Amino acid sequence: MSRRSVLHETVLVFTVGEGRFAIAASAVQEVCGVEGMAAVAPAQRSRSVRHILQRRDGTRLVIDAPVYFGMRASAGQRLLLLRSAGLALLVGGVDRMQEITALYSLPRAFHGQERRWFRGLSLLHDGVVPVLDARALVAEVHGVYAASELCTAAAVVAEAGEVASA
């Protein structure tokens, strides 16, 4: 029998390919389009970070959600800008915001990385969704990139953009 945690939390329900997921709304600063995304130089890429987002408020690493979750590639149309950590998550779309009142522990079918990615499952009025743990995204990216490398990746992309536009 799975354990259930009672809570009152607003989540953002989003899509990645055919799948639906949720993330705590408090972990997301903003939802925006993909304008301003630029490819990271191949030498600076990681498994799931292939782009950065350049904005007035700074540069963010973009985690490609289908790649991160090991799903079939799909076109990302929205970015979830995470509140802290200088990260954005590239997703297919945003479905809605919804209040959840319970979080169920992951069943044994979830194993390996999946157990780190998700806080648990939540029952929505139209189905069950895994609730993403934003800390797992931060840990994965910061395990690959040191702070100095983030600046270098951004600089390489900025230089490439200046050369291309010259």
Mean pLDDT throughout 138-161? Answer: 55
pLDDT of residue 146: 54
pLDDT per position as a tens digit, 39-94: 887 777 777 888 889 888 888 999 999 988 888 878 889 999 999 778 999 999 99
pLDDT of residue 79: 96
Left if phi > 0, otherwise alpha if psi is -120 to 50, otherwise beta: which for 85? left
CATH of domain 4-165: 2.30.30.40
Picking from 32, 36, 35, the residue whose alpha carbon sits closest to that of residue 80 is: 32
User: What confidence score (pLDDT) does residue 3 get?
Assistant: 76
The helix (H) or strand (E) run that includes residue 102 is strand 93-104
Structure-model confidence comparison of residues 123 and 155, the more confident one: 123
CA distance 128 to 163: 48
Q: How does 105-120 read in b/e, with b if 16+ C-beta sit within 10 Å?
A: ebeeebeeeeeebbbb
The per-residue pLDDT for 138 is 82
pLDDT at 16: 94
Question: What are the residue boundaries of the structural domains of the chain, listed by start?
Answer: 4-165
pTM beyond 0.85, yes or no: no
Contact 19, 71 (CB under 8 A): yes
Kindly report, residue by residue over 80-130, the tens digit of the pLDDT.
999 977 899 999 999 999 999 999 998 989 888 888 889 999 999 889 999
User: How much is the pLDDT for 55?
Assistant: 86
DSSP H helices in 9-133: 65-68, 113-117
Contact 8, 99 (CB under 8 A): yes
Backbone Cα Rg of the chain = 17
